[in-house]
Amino acid sequence: MRGALPFYAILCCSATAVREECVVQCTRQRFPSPTRELYAIITLSMHKYMLAVIGSVHHPIRKMSNSSEKQDCSVPLSARIMFLAGFTLIIATTVTFTPEIAKQIAYSWNIGVERARAEVARQFLEEHPFPEQRMAMVVRAVAPSVVGVHVIAPRRSEGYNPTRNGPAVLTGNVGSGVIVNAQEGHILTNYHVISDAHLILVQLSDGRETEAEVIGRDRTLDLAVLRIVADDLEAIAWGDSRQVLVGEQVVAIGSPYGLQQTVTSGIISATERSNPVIASRGTRRGTRSISREFLQTDAAINPGNSGGPLVDMNGQLIGICTAIIALETGGNSGIGFAIPSFTAERIYEEILVQGEVRHSWIGIMLSDITLSQARELNLERPMGTLVEGFADINSPARDAGLQRGDIVVRWGDTVINDTRHFTHLIAITRPGTTKEIEIIRDGETLTLEITTAARPANW
């Protein structure tokens, strides 16, 4: 079969050329039409199948080529034609009948264009860690998972009485959301987007619109989970907000002012940030409220972005855009806040398992350590939180042996920075969890164990 060697070489070169052409087209970011994108997908698939066929004939050819030089191993022309015809038939059959290839071809039609773009973009991001236009590919990879949330809610003016004033006038609100489970049709958004909703409509990135139902909500942390019934959904990948560093590039996608699929970019300005406008600061004496921590970003977040994703340069969800500190004119000030994905994912899973969200509580009132108190305790800086009192009802903190005047400096393995930090750690702990805490009492360091309870509704 020595005569087949040139043909084998041609097949290898063809497969390599197909692969290189696809990489070139992806790298240049030139996708002027669905046809070019479909071409990229098909060429990648063709490359795989050509290599498979080549591999099947490689070993027989090599074996025959090592035979005695005196032996006539030439292949008749008819055999070559039959091999070429068979190879062509395999490719044609594969393209025609393989479900995955058929689905990829369908991507080039209307509803599938964005999905095709997303798959090519994801593969590109895997193969090219730091390309020049990585942000554009991140947007393409994530866009199919971002939805617009349109809420029809009753407009009730101050002093509204349905008996005296009649039915409420319906008004529309706009927000955003992100698909986190494609099989179940689950969408994560902010609670304040869908609160008091009469009807919720979700608009997908491909233009489809469908009604959604609320399957769970958490008013305290401002999150809600919606469910829709639709095919060909794309779920976003979860990222770990605990690994995010200040200065990292991020992208926010949503529907500000109803402008669907609007993309803004920026960096992480701060982590573990408590917004005094929308979160409990936990610095007042005797505070009893739950503290919330946010990722702060300068990516533009405007009305309508609420509930949309904040993603990193891997196309992973690291936060849910929630609020901003607005200018007096109502515009964006470059200070926006997102609920960390670590918190959002925990709330989502808890809603799925229990149907509701229960926050931990230890029945304690706290205040921050002052500079003078820190000096008295020989601390390098104010840290920890001061126990001011306990709840009138059963208090897990009091039952664990805590006393008024104790300073709590560690919760589990985490050193406590201040009151806000401590109340947040309690809030993200599941009820019924036993934690080891470290306190300072009369200059001595003590270790206690405390078991959290479910937070009472009236506390």
Q: Which residues are catalytic?
A: 192, 222, 306
Measure the CA–CA gap between 356 and 53, rounded to whole angstroms.
54
Provide CB contacts within 8 A for 346, sequence distance 6+: 428
Complete DSSP assignment for 45-82: HHHHHHHHHHHHHHHHHHHHHTS-TTS--PPPHHHHHH
Give dist(CA 89, CA 19) in Å, integer: 21
- What backbone torsions phi and psi does residue 245 show, to the nearest 5 degrees? -110, 145
* C-alpha span between 389 and 366 (Å, rounded): 7
When computed from its CA atoms, the radius of gyration of the chain, rounded to whole angstroms, is 30
* End-to-end Cα distance, the chain: 85
CA distances from 79 to 1, 71, 86 (A): 10, 18, 10
Rounded Cα–Cα distance for residues 348 and 227 (Å): 12
Phi, psi dihedrals of residue 289, rounded to the nearest 5°: -85, 160
Nearest to residue 229, comparing CAs of 208, 257, 199?
208
Residue appearing with tokens 């205040």? 367
Cβ atoms of 362 and 459 closer than 8 Å: no
CA neighbours within 13 Å on the CB side: how many for 315? Answer: 27
Q: Are 420 and 366 in contact (CB under 8 A)?
A: no
The token pair at 358 is 């229960």
Q: What b/e readout covers 284-302, taking b as 16+ CB neighbours within 10 angstroms?
A: eeebbebbbbbbbbbbbbb
Q: Are 250 and 297 in contact (CB under 8 A)?
A: yes
Query: Are the C-beta atoms of residues 250 and 311 closer than 8 Å to each other?
Result: yes
